[in-house]
Structure 1
Amino acid sequence: MNIVLMGYMGSGKSLIGNGLAKKMKLKYLDLDDYIEIQEKKSISDIFKEKGEIYFRKKESFYLKEVLERHKNCIISLGGGTPCFAGNLDIVKNNTNTQSIYLQTSLEELTKRLFEERNKRPLIAHLETQDELKDFIRKHLFERSFYYNQADYKVVTDKKDSDQVIEESCSLLF
């Protein structure tokens, strides 16, 4: 079985994915890292050079590839992955896949993302916490429809990574 983690950027998908993989003795794969290896470019460079539409098409292609080629794996999706190109249906219709939404509040996401915004192409242009909060609020409104279709939901606020990993494991088994 593959376990797919979804949620907004900054929700902890990579951190929790790595920890969950170690605890469950499974392979870990970050879809964004996989895309960067396959495309031989950073996500930021792909966005800058080829645009978001190109990226979203490649993201969908590589999601299908990963789910077909990898079994017994923890897979972290990009924050927007479930919301584009029928990707949520790809995950939901894969019979050997369970999904977990790592739900994080607007306030917590704003706090986590503000200091690292320059490393994230979608928010690098935002200069104040208020601008970032408004941006996240809009995205959460648009994306929560998709995120909430995950098989399971784990609220990450006020929990350390070990607590989120434990809660995720208890939902799966």
Structure 2
Amino acid sequence: MKIVLCGYMGCGKSTVGQLLSEKLNVDFLEIDTEIEKKENSSITDIFQENGEIYFRKIENIVLNEVLKTSKNEVISLGGGTPCYANNLHLLKSNEHVKLFYLKMTPQNLTARLINEKQKRPLINHLQTEEKLEEYIRKHLFERQFYYLQSDFMIDANAKSVEELTEEIINLLQ
């Protein structure tokens, strides 16, 4: 089985994914990290040098490769992964994938992302907290359609990493 975590950047996919993989004793994989390995470049540099369209093509290739393996693993998607190419179809049509959406409010995402903007190529140009929240609201609205097609939706707003991990484990049983 592949337990796949999706949601907007900053919702906790990587942190929850790492703990979940430890508790289930399976490998943890981040799509963004796999892209960086494949391209031998950081996500920020890929965006700056080749643009988002190129990045999304590579993301689709990497997702295809990851889903073709028979390994049991926890996978953290990039925030936009399910929204581009045929990625959502790849996830939904794979009988071994359980897709979890970690849902958070724009206010909580803004609070998490305001201090790490420089590491995030899609938001590093936004100068104020108000601009960041406006961007997140718009983006989240556009992406909700894809996120809401997950097998499970988890409210991640006021829960610890441990609570979210336990909730996912309970849903898998």
How does the TM-score come out when normalised to structure 1?
Answer: 0.99
Matched, 1:81 2:73: no
- In the alignment, the residues of structure 2 paired with residue 77 and residue 118 of structure 1 have an alpha-carbon distance, to the nearest angstrom, of 20
1:43: which partner in 2? 43
Aligned residue runs from structure 1 range 17-166, under 5 A: 17-166=17-166
- In the alignment, the residues of structure 2 paired with residue 80 and residue 70 of structure 1 have an alpha-carbon distance, to the nearest angstrom, of 24
- In the alignment, the residues of structure 2 paired with residue 77 and residue 66 of structure 1 have an alpha-carbon distance, to the nearest angstrom, of 11
- In the alignment, the residues of structure 1 paired with residue 100 and residue 128 of structure 2 have an alpha-carbon distance, to the nearest angstrom, of 31
Write out per-residue CA displacement over residues 18-72 of structure 1, whole angstroms, 9 at most, x where no aligned residue: 0000011111000000100110000000000000000000100100001112520
Q: What is the CA RMSD across the aligned residues, in angstroms? A: 0.6
1:15: which partner in 2? 15
- In the alignment, the residues of structure 1 paired with residue 47 and residue 108 of structure 2 have an alpha-carbon distance, to the nearest angstrom, of 26
- In the alignment, the residues of structure 1 paired with residue 134 and residue 84 of structure 2 have an alpha-carbon distance, to the nearest angstrom, of 21
Return the offset for 1:86: 1.2
What secondary structure sits across from 2:15 in the alignment? helix
Letter of the structure 2 residue corresponding to residue 96 of structure 1: H
User: Please, which runs of 5 or more residues in structure 1 have no aligned partner?
Assistant: none
Kindly report structure 1 stretches of 4+ aligned residues shifted beyond 4 Å.
none
Write out per-residue CA displacement over residues 70-101 of structure 1, whole angstroms, 9 at most, x where no aligned residue: 52000000000000001000000111111000
What secondary structure sits across from 1:56 in the alignment? helix
Q: How many residues align?
A: 173
Identity of aligned residues (%): 50
Letter of the structure 2 residue corresponding to residue 140 of structure 1: L
- In the alignment, the residues of structure 2 paired with residue 32 and residue 41 of structure 1 have an alpha-carbon distance, to the nearest angstrom, of 11
- In the alignment, the residues of structure 2 paired with residue 19 and residue 108 of structure 1 have an alpha-carbon distance, to the nearest angstrom, of 21
- In the alignment, the residues of structure 2 paired with residue 18 and residue 62 of structure 1 have an alpha-carbon distance, to the nearest angstrom, of 19
Letter of the structure 1 residue corresponding to residue 93 of structure 2: N
